Structure 1
Amino acid sequence: MSIFDQAKHDVERARFLGDVRDLLSILRRQPNELLPFDWVRHLSPDGEHQRGLETIEVDHIIGSVDRYREFDRHYLPKEAHLDERWIGVRAAQLQGKELPPIQVYKVGDLYFVKDGNHRVSVARRQGQKFIDAYVIELHVTVPPEEGDTLKDLIIKGEYAQFLKATNLDTLVPNHHPIRFTTPGRYEKLLEHIRTRQYFLDRKPDRAGLPPVTWEEAVESWYRRLYCRIVENIDLHDVMSRFPGRTEADLYLWIMDHRYFLTQKYGHDVGSEEATMDFRAQHSPPLYKRLGQRMKLVLRGKINPAM
């Protein structure tokens, strides 16, 4: 078989595998597209710098600047019009020619291709582990992860803004990550912190003292409210009742439930009592939990052994 015929066979095989992966992604309801680099703006990058020529891992390339519709998430070609360029790159590889480095943006530990999409596609299809690249790194507070969707990046961008607004990374360096499953929730946390600041300022033992600072309110909210409820969530095994949800999701729900109970009984209800009552009143039935868990397993969101 000639080099050209081998390269042609390889691209046809690659497109066939791409079709199979597309079908599997539909059945599993999992995304199979490359991430558009434009989505990175949701992470609120605050600068970039040139890292120069580096050797990077091919499997860490998850997106493209402008060719994200032409390859799937595994960088398999999706359209027949890509064949000529793909064959040319593969033929050069078979002839032992040295291919020029690609160009990528680095975001966290992952990469988006600026130039060299076909070279990445061929390299990945041939099982190549590393590739040379000119790297431009973007600085983000909360980096993306493999498998992220647009919604995930929006939420992470909101988290980055929350961390900047609270300076929580500095105040509590080893704090638990605060991750939601739906956008628009971090503003509610800021409201909780502002409320915490208001009530701390009005404690009788603070008479004559300077006003409570924002930083003091943030740390008090995290240690005395958020962490306490997270501890109760763990103590009473609440997470297992809500597959696919996070501690932060449950924190907000339990805080709302605590307010409801306080209004109902006319006195402040403690966080543990609110957590236990929320678990008793709002846990989905077993069949719904099992169904949700099965969906998450099929989508690859959780390990079936867990």
Structure 2
Amino acid sequence: MEVVLSWWRPRRSGLIPFADALEAVGDEGAMGTYDDEVPLSQVMGSVSRSDDFDDDFRPRRRTDRFQAVLDRFRSGSIPPAVSLVRLGQMYFVVDGHHRVAAARAQGWTHIAAHVRRICSVAYVCSCITVADLPAKAAERRFLEEVPLPEDIRRGLWLDRPADWARLADSALAWEFRQQRDRRGRADVDAHGLASAWWLEEVAPTVSRIRADAPTDLVDVQLYITELARRDGVADLSWPSPHCCPDHTPPP
């Protein structure tokens, strides 16, 4: 039997195109605009120029325009605010690519920005990559079927699309059994059933196995490993942790 859990993650491969990211994680509508000092480490995508910069936001081709912007930074001039779109904890540049690149080259940690925030179905942490988008698309499809609360969504991370499908099958099977057995859930909507599945099935399972598991794994990683164990996957091993500050496992 094929081992379902493969946890190797490729390195970053360039700026994330906004259109690709939004398609993957799902658009739940705009949440307004605001001005802020944005961490440059979280500005990792572009609306229209993802091919012009590498994954550290360095121009792939240095131009007179970039040099002029860099010279203004070096002279101490305060640049105008850049324009960004925010998905979760990641920002995509609409206008101001060279200002972001120059600020990073000068060692700035933050930059002034006009920000338009968009709510997504799947949570966007600050360290996803282009290579993660297929898994995020699978996560979005899972959440469309199993609409978990926002606080739980923030802690979800699985690397493989197949594991999200396995998780959806588990949740929907559990919900079917609850409705079949008529355990007082006839009038519970999809959101209520999703929350009940997590609280009554996932949380107790994770609590039972966490004492013997690596402490840096998030709950859904432990649960998907338990599902694989139940299915008799051979040579099963613990997954590798997702090293992202937005995904903090329970104590």
The TM-score normalised by the length of structure 2 is 0.73
- Which ranges of structure 2 fall in alignment gaps of 5 or more residues? 1-8, 245-251
How far 1:219 sits from its partner (Å)?
Answer: 4.5
C-alpha distance in 1 between matches for 2:19 and 2:134: 12
Q: How far did 1:95 drift?
A: 4.2
Tell whether 2:97 aligns with 1:144.
no
Mapping 1:1-306, distance limit 5 Å: 30-41=11-22, 42-79=24-61, 82-169=62-149, 177-203=155-181, 211=186, 213=188, 215=190, 217-237=193-213, 239=214, 246-257=221-232, 282-283=235-236, 301=243
* Cα displacement string for residues 134-169 of structure 1 (whole angstroms, at most 9, x for unaligned residues): 221111243323331234233334334433433331
SS in 2 for 1:104: strand
Question: What amino acid sits opposite 1:33 in the alignment?
Answer: G
Aligned length: 231
Deviation string 1:198-240 (CA, Å, 9 cap, x unpaired) is: 433454xx59x78474556544533343233323332443x59
SS of 2:28's equivalent in the other structure is coil
- How far, CA to CA, are the matches of 2:177 and 2:34 in structure 1? 52
The TM-score with structure 1 as length reference comes to 0.61
CA deviation vs aligned residue, 1:7-56 (integer Å, no higher than 9, x gap): xxxxxxxxxxxxxxxxxxxxx96225222222222110211254144332
Q: SS of 2:79's equivalent?
A: coil
Q: Is the 8 A contact 2:15 2:57 kept in 1?
A: yes
Change (3 A) 1:220 1:141: closer
- 3-state DSSP of counterpart to 2:83: strand
By percentage of residues, which structure has more strand? 2
Which structure would you say has the larger Rg? 1
Aligned residue for 1:282, secondary structure, equals: coil
Note if contact 2:13-2:129 (Cα within 8 Å) is conserved in structure 1.
Answer: no
Following the alignment from structure 1 to structure 2, what is the Cα–Cα distance between the partners of residues 96 and 199? 65
SS across alignment from 1:253: helix
State the distance in 1 between where 2:10 and 2:146 align. 36
**1:168 counterpart SS class:** coil
Identity %: 21
SS at match of 1:63: strand
Residue 13 of structure 1 aligns with which residue?
A: none
* Contact 1:178/1:248, CA 8 A, preserved across alignment: no
- 1:223/1:90 Cα in 2 relative to 1: closer, same or farther (>3 Å)? closer
**Larger helix share, 1 or 2:** 1
**Distance in 2 of aligned mates of 1:131 and 1:104:** 11
Aligned counterparts of 2:49 and 2:197: Cα–Cα separation in 1: 45
Q: Is the 8 A contact 2:29 2:118 kept in 1?
A: yes
Relative distance call for 1:220 and 1:72 in structure 2 (3 A) is: same
Change (3 A) 1:211 1:45: closer
Q: Does structure 2 retain, via aligned residues, the 8 Å contact 1:155–1:180? A: yes
SS at match of 2:149: helix
Looking at structure 2, the residues matched to 150 and 136 of structure 1 have their Cα atoms a distance apart, in angstroms, of 22
2:166 is paired with a residue of what secondary structure?
Answer: helix
